[in-house]
A and B are shown apart, each in its own frame.
Chain A
Amino acid sequence: MFKDLDPLLHSQLRLAVISILIGSEEADFVFIREKTNATAGNLSVQIEKLREAGYISVEKSFRGKMPRTTCRITPAGISAFEKYVAALNSYLRPK
């Protein structure tokens, strides 16, 4: 039987953000924007959706005089990602 794919993760940009964060302890907004080729506005919106769902934590700080937004995946985000990948596998390799 096919499992439902988490709609929050089943979108290109949000899945890209979560995938970067699953492989990193932390990544800042500029790094994620460069790697995803997203616009700053769109990325901000998608990051906020992931934060509201409790999948990532977002920390705003200053490094020197420059503002910096750092993102980290949360345990809820890791769990959601694992379920999402398991669901994908059930689609690609149905029993």
Chain B
Amino acid sequence: MENLLTEKESLDLIGQMINTAKNNLQKGTAKIILFWGYLVAGFSLATWVLLENLPHETRYHAFYLWFLMVAAYPFHYMLVKKIDRENRVRTYIDGLMNRVWIGFTISILVVVSGMLIDSLIVNTVAEAVKPGHEFVRWFHWLLLVPFMLCLYGFALFVSGKAYEFKPLTLGGIFCFAASFVLLFSLHKTGVYGVQMFALFISAVAGFVIPGHLLNRKEKKYVQGS
């Protein structure tokens, strides 16, 4: 049975239906935010503790811990698949935000793999590394955390604005500020420890706190819950 409409009723219906998915945040998004938030916070805190306590000559081995992050991706993939199964609508904003976070991951992988190749292969044979100056092989790693925090800030800020969820936006601003401040401490002794501690605080402010707030407000922001 077809129900014909007046022109005004048509426009009202269009507005009402378009709004059904407005501000949609896919159900389970908070789980992914919390997963990565706790993981980065845990790893950075553990690295900081190791840096402070390992003997001087082996303390930088603490960073090898981060290779374990690769093992997190299968769990991330399983979480994404579960969310995909549970969600019944995907808005253009959801699609765009998924691509922003994919771009974020690719950016981190490009920079980290480039630095690893440079430090472990290229610079070991480069004439530029003179005896007594081996530290230059690792020098660019000083910029990694400020760069990562800037990327966190970008992705969190865009997500927060797109979903109109202020805690994510504020988390992004916190990461921008942390990145900016860290750039002024590159020459200080114990800089890697400071960076790991800043990363821990930023993961809590940018992911863990907004993730828990999102869990609590899920009914308001998430469709179909």
Contact = CB atoms under 8 A, between A and B. Distances in A.
B95 A12 contact: no
Interface string A62-95: 0110000000000000000000010010011000
Given A11-B2, A20-B21, A24-B21, A91 B7 contact: yes
Interface stretch (B10-18, B30-38, B184-192): B10-18
A25 interface: yes
Given A15-B10, A20-B17, A31-B224, A25 B92 contact: yes
Interface residues of A, number: 28
A31 B17 CA distance: 12
Contact of A23 (B4, B11, B84, B91): B91
What is the size category of the interface that chain B forms with chain A? 20 to 34
A19 B89 contact: no
Interface string A40-82: 0010000000000000000000011000000000000000000
Interface of B: 1-5, 7-11, 13-14, 16-22, 84-85, 88-92, 94-95, 223-224
11 contacts: A12-B5, A15-B5, A15-B17, A19-B17, A20-B18, A23-B22, A23-B92, A25-B90, A25-B94, A31-B223, A36-B17
